[in-house]
């Protein structure tokens, strides 16, 4: 029993790790294999295999779009969080309005309005560009609130200390605030990134041929829903797991006693 | 240096931390501020350091009036080395990085040169073995010494010390005393808040006694400590003799 | 009383599957399901399920039948069974107003954008037959229509009835080529192996057609279109 | 100019607030009215008005489902965050597996599998129950990582202090950790709650007749896309805005100098 | 009380903070621990307080061996009042709430009674006006006094003070001294780390000198301060005379 407990220093033996993971895997497998064995369902995997090419293409598109949206939304989230804390009132209110209206309305509606109304009016016709921007705009609102709450968790005395040694505002963010909040921001940001990747599926509404759309097409062609969607889940996991692993590494890297 | 306070007032909500402080401290090199806890010493120090804006009044340093705009405060702060009562080191940086940050990023000292400065000061304050640890891994006295090194490493126009020896043993206190003597010989100025009356007397040539937000007495240290006038100060100094 | 007949459908395809303004299921398929259940002597329950949920619901027995404007294809028949067809229709084109195209062949050119709705037979057709044109796969029919009416796409491949309606609603910006270039059939979806029910459904459909049930449904829900199609010389379908 | 700047105490005059909001509103209105005026679109609000009943019913269903999912997911997120920090290894790994697999896969797939496979095997047929549970399971994974990062932002010295005065583990969470992280958690949690409300729309896949489904149906019946989706956006805003306002109040309430 | 250390060792990474401390401190009422900064005083105190588990060795208090299991440590800690070097008040609670929390939630004192206890102690330590402020709104000395009140309010079996007067003015230091005298008259025990030698001498009947993780000298305070044996201690005490 004792070896399954982590001591206060957080050290864990390899054997305990393996056995514990084994236990967990056993439990999960038991539930799901029971569930699937109870299922009387005529599996039709052949149909899916024929369409493997579509899965690959869709997956690659999703990778490309999410990567772009990830970067742009992070930038946007950062700027919005800063604007929200800026001393200039209209800038503050603009960022508040942006965050509330984006978080308050469905992505579906935003995509429709931005593509068919706004982009249309401004003569922008590239659906990939508009798609990435809309997705970034959407995720940026969520990211900005996470980043803001991280920034605001820095103690006042730290900020005073930064002012005392003569750091400018920008330097304070760069050398004092961000290094301290990184570790704390990593877990929720990772979650938001996973969301971006999955939310990119809504771009199918403006005919961006991404992963989910392709899986749904295969489903529609073959009427094999579970068979189409299990590879879909696997494909998304393939994308989000590396991000999660990287985030765990980052968390450890930025850990220090306080 | 010279300090000139004109009707300086500062309130926190209902609490009047400084009440209409008006004073001319002419020509001192090292000023000690003493007084009962909660009297307003730290608040006054923070105003001098450009970290707090008084609600009323004006402050001149060496005849130059401080205008409390963000831009000029930045320059003002850069010319000062401050040691806080609670040290306020950056928890995410090691001891060395804490000292290097202002040197390299604010005062544009080359990294190599900055390292040399830090190494020699750490040597002097017996911190060399602890240079690569984070503040939470240092003892109280070690943290305080890092804070002192951070303030003096930039060779500022003048230094502001808020209880710089509260966590230091007698040996280290003596070391700080020596260092301050060097600073004075160097022509550098010093404003210091301390509860250690022996230390205050030793280190300063001028002294203020602040209680309840008012300056109740000021004068040359030699005078003030041996012949206090204000009854509160007399009483205050008497307590020291008990231990 | 007898076990209810649970029929799954996505109530988003008027006039076949829809709800009335108060939210009650209505439409051709709903009436069809009701009549079918009546003939089987069972009460009917309509399960409003979005498309992605229909097949698993059918396969896991949460619904007995799916009547949801499903086009029977050989490929789909590998996964579920279909009844005999109850409706025939065909793929045709909704074009933007100034498009010079006269047939589907004119559209298969580089630079031409053809919109389809995800998972429809039109989508399947475009994937297999249109080699040079760019195919825009859209999630929603309304979005596809919007693409054509805003000129972002040249044409939209869809079934005759919907194309007719879409054209009527956007006659200022679109025109329709209603002549079908591919025939197809709608059928009721049944779980594989549920042969008893399949037999019952087929028998019902045959009987229903003979008794003029489909004629009545057409008159009830599609009168205007039926007349219009007659005028244009296309065969009607129910 | 000066009155549009916030001083360090954060005080703002009423006039400045009003004028600033006015400026922001003006800007936003300008962009959208230009966009909508460019749109040659025959508005058809009459059709929508006929179906108002459907909007109301769907909205009420969404309110009920989201409220339930909000509570359950918060509980689940909390428990998972605690399990993730527990000394018991298998519990830790279980919560890690849960978080990663849920965040890594699309909600759509989760709903399908949980309803048609798992709930089916265990004989649970109530689609509302399964819907709420799935939604909570989904959001709980995100919430747990936010809560965990909040908990871990508490300084070690605070925890030591709590141990020194003799608080138990549970008391430490109750009196020391949670009161300190509440303020910092509020903004991201609010975002996640907004997400839950909107994600509930995916439950239409298991025949839950919620708000988005109803709007889409009306759209399909009337062919009035924008007219159906604008009330949809408004309906969601009506739900999320009060949450946002409450969260701002909470943030202010739990603010203290540090 | 009696303290018995058997081969106690504690390392932080490569740094050996305590080296094999073996010692029997028999029958003291008030123990002072002095020594240079970084010597290991706080670490030893934290082990006695049940906040740190030594890597090696055993500790007995009043003949009872401390077993370092979480359950018995909890009980142990509840019987002790601790004042940290950095005060460690809870930033989200007001001064009064900081003191009330352990009283009400740990020691099951009724809220009304707890309030009365807090009020009278705050009165005594001149904190009444500041009872409803958060730690960040208090001066350094005020925070330290709140921490002292928090420790003594629960009337613990014994008290552990780490530099309890570092931020206090002479007047308040004298007040703490008085209070400690009362505690002693009350039969309560005290272990105290301090850099203020006058204070140490005044307050303790027994004294330890710790440097570099080792106890270099121990004995009755009257003896140790007037006739130090270890050359390091001699040197250490000599520095105090400089100011
Ligand atoms: N940020 C703040 N908010 C509210 N009140 C404050 C704040 N800072 C200081 N005060 C109050 O102002 C008064 C003066 O505080 P100050 O820190 O200047 O005292 P001090 O003389 O430095 O005391 P000490 O010797 O205890 O450090 C005190 O009563 C304190 O409670
Ligand atoms: N958490 C920690 N991690 C790493 N090293 C530590 C930690 N705590 C203390 N140390 C080191 O252990 C040694 C003893 O520290 P301790 O705090 O006991 O000293 P001290 O005698 O209390 O000093 P001071 O008078 O300066 O408070 C110091 O060198 C310190 O740097
Ligand atoms: Mg002070
Ligand atoms: Mg110490």
pLDDT 10s digits, B195-211: 888 888 888 999 999 99
Q: Which chains touch D (3 or more CB pairs under 8 A)?
A: A, B, C, E
Judging contacts by C-beta atoms under 8 Å, the chain B residues touching residue E201 are 243
Lowest mean pLDDT among A193-197, A211-215, B72-76: A211-215
Which numbered atom of ligand 1 lies nearest the CA of B13?
A: 4
pLDDT in tens, D125-150: 788 899 999 999 999 999 999 999 99
- Report pLDDT for D1: 55
Q: How many domains does chain D contain in total? A: 2
Q: What is the rounded average pLDDT of the residues A223-228?
A: 83
D99 located within any domain: yes
Nearest to D166 among E78, E86, E92 (CB): E78
Q: Do D256 and E134 touch (CB under 8 A)?
A: yes
Q: Where are the beta strands (DSSP E) in chain E?
A: 3-12, 15-25, 30-34, 56-61, 64-65, 80-83, 158-162, 189-193, 206-211, 214-220
Q: Does residue C13 have a pLDDT over 70?
A: yes
Q: What is the rounded average pLDDT of the residues E114-143?
A: 94
- Report pLDDT for E241: 65
Whole-complex ipTM: 0.86
A173 located within any domain: yes
CA dist D238 to C144, D60, D231, Å? 29, 12, 10
- Cβ-based neighbours of A161, under 8 Å, separated by 6 or more: A176, B84, B88, B89, B90
Query: What residue ranges do the domains of chain E occupy?
Result: 3-80+156-240, 89-155
Nearest CA in chain E to B84: E140
Long-range contacts of B116-123 (CB under 8 A, 24+ apart): B117/B153, B118/B149, B118/B153, B121/B149, B121/B152, B121/B153, B122/B95, B122/B96, B122/B149
3-state DSSP percent of chain E in helix, strand and coil, to 5: 40, 25, 35
Q: What is the rounded average pLDDT of the residues B22-34?
A: 91
Nearest to C49 among D125, D207, D220 (CB): D207
Alpha carbon D39 to chain centroid distance?
32
Q: Where is pLDDT greater, at B242 or D86?
A: D86
Q: Are A20 and A61 found together in one domain?
A: no
The kind and range of the H/E element at A152 are helix A127-152
- D10: confidence class by pLDDT, cuts 50, 70, 90: low
A147 located within any domain: yes
Percent of chain B clearing pLDDT 70 (strictly above): 99
The kind and range of the H/E element at C9 are strand C5-9
| Count of alpha carbons within 13 angstroms of residue E208, beta-carbon side | 27
The domain of D14 spans 1-40
- Report pLDDT for E229: 92
How many other C-beta atoms are found inside a 10 Å radius of the C-beta of residue B19?
15
- Report pLDDT for E243: 61
Quick one: which of E195, E179, E101, E89 has its CA closest to E142? E89
Q: For residue E204, report the distance from its CA to the centre of ligand 2, in Å.
A: 23
A46 located within any domain: no
D46 located within any domain: no
Residue D12 CA to residue A214 CA, distance in Å, equals 52
pLDDT in tens, D215-243: 877 777 776 777 788 888 888 888 888 88
pLDDT in tens, E137-189: 999 999 999 999 999 999 998 999 998 888 888 888 888 888 888 888 888 89
pLDDT in tens, A68-122: 999 999 999 999 999 998 888 888 889 999 998 898 888 888 888 888 778 878 8
CA distance B234 to chain A (A): 35
Q: Which chains touch B (3 or more CB pairs under 8 A)?
A: A, D, E
| Count of alpha carbons within 13 angstroms of residue E136, beta-carbon side | 13
Answer positive or negative: Cα dihedral of A127, A130, A132, A135: negative
- B136: confidence class by pLDDT, cuts 50, 70, 90: very high
- C44: confidence class by pLDDT, cuts 50, 70, 90: very high
Q: For residue E192, report the distance from its CA to the centre of ligand 4, in Å.
A: 11
Q: What is the rounded average pLDDT of the residues C149-172?
A: 87
Per-chain mean pLDDT for chain A: 86
- Report pLDDT for A10: 61
Answer positive or negative: Cα dihedral of D183, D188, D194, D200: negative
Q: Are D34 and D63 found together in one domain?
A: no
Which residue carries 């409300």 as its tokens?
D197
Name the pairing type of β-strands E189-193 and E158-162. Answer: parallel
Which pTM was predicted?
A: 0.87
Q: Are D132 and D166 found together in one domain?
A: yes
Would you say domain E3-80+156-240 falls under CATH 3.40.50.300?
yes
Residue A253 CA to residue D97 CA, distance in Å, equals 22
CA dist A26 to A16, A154, D91, D121, Å? 15, 42, 13, 18
Q: For residue E57, report the distance from its CA to the centre of ligand 4, in Å.
A: 21
* Whether D119 contacts D206, CB under 8 Å: no
Q: Are A72 and A35 found together in one domain?
A: no
A82 located within any domain: yes
Upstream peptide bond of D5 is cis (omega within 30 degrees of 0) = no
* 3-class SS of residue B211: strand
D89 located within any domain: yes
Q: Whose CA is nearest to atom 3 of ligand 1?
A: E137
Nearest to D184 among A107, A152, A233 (CB): A152
Phi, psi of A186 (to 5 degrees): -55, -50
- D13: confidence class by pLDDT, cuts 50, 70, 90: confident
Q: Are D210 and D109 found together in one domain?
A: yes
Q: Does residue B61 have a pLDDT over 80?
A: yes
Q: Tell me if chain A has a CB within 8 Å of the CB of D11.
A: no
Q: For residue E226, report the distance from its CA to the centre of ligand 3, in Å.
A: 34
A45 located within any domain: no
Q: B6: which 2 tokens?
A: 């004109």
Q: Are A3 and A77 found together in one domain?
A: no
Per-chain mean pLDDT for chain B: 91
Q: Are A74 and A144 found together in one domain?
A: yes
pLDDT in tens, D25-71: 888 888 878 777 776 666 777 777 888 888 888 899 999 999 999 99
CATH label of the domain that carries residue A99: 1.10.3720.10
């Amino acid at each position: 029993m004792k070896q399954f407990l982590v001591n206060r220093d957080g050290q864990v033996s390899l054997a305990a790790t393996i056995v514990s993971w084994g236990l967990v895997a056993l439990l999960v497998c038991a539930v799901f294999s029971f569930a699937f064995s109870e299922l009387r369902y005529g599996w039709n995997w052949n149909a899916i295999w024929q369409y493997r090419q579509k899965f690959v293409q869709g997956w690659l598109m999703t990778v490309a779009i999410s990567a772009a949206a990830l970067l742009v939304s992070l930038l946007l989230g950062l700027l919005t969080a800063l604007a929200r804390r800026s001393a200039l009132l209209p800038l503050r209110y603009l960022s508040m309005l942006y965050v509330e209206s984006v978080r308050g309305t469905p992505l579906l509606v935003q995509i429709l309005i931005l593509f068919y109304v706004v982009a249309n009016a401004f003569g922008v016709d590239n659906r990939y560009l508009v798609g990435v921007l809309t997705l970034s705009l959407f995720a940026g609102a969520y990211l900005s609130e996470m980043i803001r709450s991280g920034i605001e968790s820095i103690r006042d005395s730290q900020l005073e200390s930064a002012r005392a040694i003569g750091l400018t505002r920008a330097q304070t963010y760069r050398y004092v605030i961000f290094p301290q909040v990184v570790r704390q921001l990593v877990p929720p940001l990772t979650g938001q990134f996973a969301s971006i990747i999955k939310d990119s599926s809504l771009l199918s509404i403006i005919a961006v041929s991404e992963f989910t759309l392709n899986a749904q097409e295969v489903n529609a062609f073959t009427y094999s829903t579970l068979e189409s969607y299990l590879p879909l889940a696997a494909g998304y996991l393939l994308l989000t797991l590396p991000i999660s692993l990287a985030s765990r590494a980052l968390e450890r890297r930025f850990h220090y006693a306080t | 240096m010279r300090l000139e306070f004109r009707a300086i007032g500062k309130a926190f909500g209902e609490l009047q931390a400084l009440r209409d402080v008006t004073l001319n401290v002419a020509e001192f090199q090292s000023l000690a501020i003493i007084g009962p806890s909660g009297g307003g010493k730290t608040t006054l120090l923070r105003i001098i350091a450009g970290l707090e804006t008084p609600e009323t009044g004006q402050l001149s340093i060496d005849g130059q009036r401080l205008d409390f705009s963000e831009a000029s405060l930045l320059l003002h702060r850069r010319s000062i080395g401050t040691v806080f009562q609670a040290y306020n080191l950056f928890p995410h940086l090691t001891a060395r990085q804490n000292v290097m940050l202002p040197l390299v990023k604010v005062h544009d000292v080359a990294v190599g040169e900055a390292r040399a400065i830090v190494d020699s000061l750490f040597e002097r304050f017996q911190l060399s073995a602890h240079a690569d640890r984070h503040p939470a891994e240092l003892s109280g006295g070690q943290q305080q010494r890092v804070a002192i090194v951070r303030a003096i490493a930039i060779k500022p126009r003048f230094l502001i010390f808020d209880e710089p020896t509260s966590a230091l043993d007698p040996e280290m206190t003596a070391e700080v005393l020596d260092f301050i003597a060097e600073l004075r010989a160097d022509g550098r100025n010093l404003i210091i808040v301390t509860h250690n009356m022996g230390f205050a007397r030793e280190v300063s040539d001028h002294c203020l006694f602040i209680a309840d937000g008012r300056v109740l007495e000021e004068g040359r240290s030699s005078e003030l400590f041996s012949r206090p006038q204000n009854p509160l100060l007399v009483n205050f100094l008497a307590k020291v003799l008990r231990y | 009383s007898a076990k209810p007949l649970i029929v799954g459908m996505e109530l988003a395809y008027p006039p076949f599957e829809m709800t009335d303004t108060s939210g009650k299921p209505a439409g051709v398929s709903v009436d069809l399901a009701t009549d079918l259940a009546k003939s089987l002597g069972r009460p009917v329950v309509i399960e409003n399920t979005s498309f992605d949920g229909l097949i698993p619901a059918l396969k896991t027995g949460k619904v007995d039948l799916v009547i949801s404007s499903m086009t029977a294809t050989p490929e789909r028949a590998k996964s579920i069974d279909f009844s005999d067809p109850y409706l025939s229709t065909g793929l045709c084109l909704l074009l933007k107003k100034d498009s010079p195209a006269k047939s589907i062949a004119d559209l298969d050119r580089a630079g031409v954008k053809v919109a389809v709705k995800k998972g429809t037979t039109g989508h399947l057709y475009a994937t297999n037959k249109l080699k040079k044109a760019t195919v825009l796969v859209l999630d929603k029919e309304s979005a596809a229509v919007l693409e054509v009416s805003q000129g972002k796409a040249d044409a939209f491949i869809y079934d005759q009835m919907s194309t007719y309606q879409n054209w009527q609603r956007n006659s200022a910006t679109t025109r329709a080529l209603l002549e079908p270039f591919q025939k197809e059939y709608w059928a009721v979806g049944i779980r594989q192996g549920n042969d008893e029910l399949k037999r019952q459904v087929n028998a019902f459909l045959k009987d229903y057609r003979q008794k003029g049930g489909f004629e009545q449904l057409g008159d009830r829900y599609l009168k205007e279109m039926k007349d219009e199609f007659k005028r244009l010389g296309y065969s009607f379908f129910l």
